[in-house]
């Protein structure tokens, strides 16, 4: 790679998963580092105050702080476009790049790109979210041509609590969704500690799993010109879409 590569990640303030998981994914890439900028997010729901947490102005302020670190890419490492609509993320990326001159991506846009690249039209959805948030995600993905044929969710709304969901529970939800044999499964929440489970779960169920922390790292590396095959042990995503 030559030069040092810096990945900028926009991070919800109450998220305790995406930072250590991102760092762990990059352990075999000594010339790549991750840098994080937080903005306030404490609740995931369709209540107006919760929706307003994701106003692009808040994310843009955090992105401009990352730009001070001369990062090569800025990623919104979060899933809010799932319930707000993908256009929200498209506009955010446009604004970030216009303000900073730095390429931008998001977890949700990266996931959409992967679904399109792999011709995935039917998927399974695993989240910690509430009934109504889950329904919005399913509707928004259907509008993009992706049909959710199996889902599991925990009906939680306190963002901090998502990180406390244990590996056994996450795995059980994935196994439940896998029974319907979707083309792919997404563990859809960047404060759900699912990414470290993906490689073993994929071996067990024979279905690709795309975690939203993983896809943000994958797309960020691609935008920075880094071969994603260098990321080892984190599932088929990094091996198959280099």
CA distance readout (Å), 95 to 15, 74, 83, 88, 135: 24, 12, 20, 11, 28
pLDDT tens-place string over residues 92-101:
999 999 999 9
Give the model's pLDDT for residue 178.
98
The CATH number given to 5-109+213-240 is: 3.40.50.12500
∠ CA 73-74-78, nearest 5°, is: 140
**What is the distance between the alpha carbons of residues 176 and 185, in angstroms, rounded to a whole number?**
11
**What is the distance between the alpha carbons of residues 142 and 136, in angstroms, rounded to a whole number?**
10
Q: What is the pTM of this model?
A: 0.95
Give the model's pLDDT for residue 3.
86
On the 0-12 / 13-18 / 19+ scale of CB atoms within 10 A, 214 is: buried
Measured distance between the N- and C-terminal CA atoms of the chain, rounded to whole angstroms: 15
Residues in a beta bridge with 78: none
pLDDT tens-place string over residues 185-241:
999 999 999 999 999 999 999 999 999 999 999 999 999 999 999 999 999 999 865
Residue pair 199/234 in contact (Cβ under 8 Å)? The answer is yes
Considering the chain, tell me which residue range(s) the CATH 3.40.50.12500 domain(s) occupy.
Answer: 5-109+213-240, 110-211
Assigned CATH class of 110-211: alpha beta
């Amino acid at each position: 790679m030559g030069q040092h590569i810096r990945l900028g990640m926009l991070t919800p303030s109450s998220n305790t998963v995406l930072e250590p998981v991102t760092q762990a994914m990059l352990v075999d890439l000594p010339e790549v580092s991750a840098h994080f900028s937080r903005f306030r997010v404490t609740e995931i729901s369709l209540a107006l105050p919760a929706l307003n947490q994701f106003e692009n102005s808040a994310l843009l302020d955090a992105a401009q702080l990352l730009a001070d670190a001369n990062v090569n890419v800025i990623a919104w490492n979060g899933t809010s476009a799932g319930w707000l609509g993908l256009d929200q993320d498209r506009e955010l990326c446009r604004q970030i790049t216009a303000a900073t001159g730095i390429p931008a991506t998001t977890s949700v846009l990266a996931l959409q790109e992967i679904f399109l690249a792999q011709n995935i039209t039917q998927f399974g959805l695993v989240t910690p979210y509430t009934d109504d948030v889950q329904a919005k995600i399913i509707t928004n993905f259907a509008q993009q041509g992706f049909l959710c044929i199996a889902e599991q969710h925990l009906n939680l709304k306190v963002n901090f609590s998502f990180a406390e969901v244990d590996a056994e529970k996450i795995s059980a939800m994935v196994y439940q969704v896998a029974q319907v044999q979707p083309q792919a499964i997404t563990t859809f929440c960047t404060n759900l500690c699912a990414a470290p489970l993906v490689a073993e779960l994929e071996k067990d169920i024979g279905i690709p799993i795309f975690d939203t922390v993983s896809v943000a790292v994958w797309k960020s590396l691609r935008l920075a010109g880094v071969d994603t095959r260098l990321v080892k042990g984190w599932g088929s995503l990094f091996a198959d879409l280099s």
